[in-house]
Structure 1
Amino acid sequence: MPLDPIHAFYCRKDYLTLAQYCKIKSGGICARCGGVFDIDELRPHHITELTLDNIDDVNITLNPANIEVLCHDCHNAAHARFGNVVGQKHVYVVYGAPCAGKSTYVQSVATRNDIVVDLDRIHGAICVCGQYDKPDATKRVAFALRDYLLDEIRTATPRRRWQDAYIIGTYPDRIDRDSLAREYPPDVINFVHIDTSKAECIKRAHETIKQAATRDAVVGWIEKYFARYTE
């Protein structure tokens, strides 16, 4: 299940760095409607659309002059979405180690019409604990909500108004990814591996997590991921 070249490009560090630079440089202003937004609410958009014919042309893919920064509504309009379903739905399973940048990637490519299934965010929505604190008391509810969303995605019909779905998880074992792939037609599901090195993941954990006990736990999760990972 190789990743198509265009989505592989959106995983690259040089693009993610450029995208963040363009968002900051915009000052929070949408290039089309002129509205002012928080940086995290904006989306970089290639003026000349990326295709298989130009994906290796850095004058198009990594040229700041070819990237405009848009709000959600203008980004959807640029892709002719306007709140309506466009074509076939697709499912993107975004997987990798803890602290690899999975959520950052999804934030850079998803639109407001897409469904994002992220167990960390689901758990954070139902309790007052931090990102890496998952109390046993609320785990059952969090998993039930995740499973409901996964069922929504599996049984979706074109009449449902959401567009694409992004499923975020670690999925280190190939057997689990293969099992997930069998739940969807092959032209619907795509796997996006955020292939960040173990050293970089651990470095990010140390840089972003202040509480020592939590940081040590996350580093342990990272170690376990790479011990289990199979291509």
Structure 2
Amino acid sequence: MLQHTEIAKKFYKSKAWRLCRESYIPTVYGLCEHCEEPGYILDHIEEININNIIDPNITLNHDNLQFLCTSCHNKKTFGSTEVTRDDVMFDSNGNLIPKK
């Protein structure tokens, strides 16, 4: 998993990523592709890293994306089935933020 370096932050704030995200989520009706609950995080199946972040075939390819709910994303990414705290959540960039 690519840590939230300046390169990663720049990518996730890019117009290309925003457009890719906006075009992908409607194709799965906004539902988690694993459990069909409402999705939250657009995830790279082949995780991006410092070596492939400039490769649009990895970063912007719909075939390498999946829309996941927080629980399914955490299970895939961190090996945990549930969020262990209910007062925080991840934003669309993967940053931990207080739950509203």
CA offset at residue 7 of structure 1? 1.9
Q: Among 73, 97, 100, which residue is 1:115 paired with?
A: 97
- Match runs of 1:19-34 below 5 Å: 19-33=21-35
CA offset at residue 116 of structure 1? 4.2
Residue ranges of structure 2 left out of the alignment (5+ in a row): 85-89
Distance 2:21 2:8 in 1: 15
CA offset at residue 59 of structure 1? 0.4
Letter of the 1:23 partner, please give it.
Answer: I
Conserved in 1, the CA contact under 8 Å of 2:33 and 2:68? yes
Are 1:53 and 2:51 matched, yes or no?
yes
CA offset at residue 29 of structure 1? 2.3
SS in 2 for 1:29: coil
Q: Output the TM-score relative to the length of structure 1.
A: 0.35
Letter of the 2:70 partner, please give it.
Answer: H
Match of 1:64 in 2: 62
CA offset at residue 72 of structure 1? 1.0
Residue ranges of structure 1 left out of the alignment (5+ in a row): 85-105, 122-231
SS in 1 for 2:92: helix
Aligned positions, number: 90
Q: Output the TM-score relative to the length of structure 2.
A: 0.74
Match of 1:36 in 2: 37
Indicate the structure (1 or 2) with the bigger Cα radius of gyration: 1
CA offset at residue 81 of structure 1? 5.3
Match of 1:15 in 2: 17
CA gap 1:115/1:29 in 2 versus in 1, 3 angstroms: closer
CA gap 1:44/1:116 in 2 versus in 1, 3 angstroms: same
Conserved in 2, the CA contact under 8 Å of 1:23 and 1:43? no
User: Could you say what the CA RMSD is over the residues aligned between the two structures, in angstroms?
Assistant: 2.5
Distance 1:42 1:81 in 2: 18
1:45-77 Cα shifts (integer Å, max 9, x gaps): 000111010011110011111011111110111
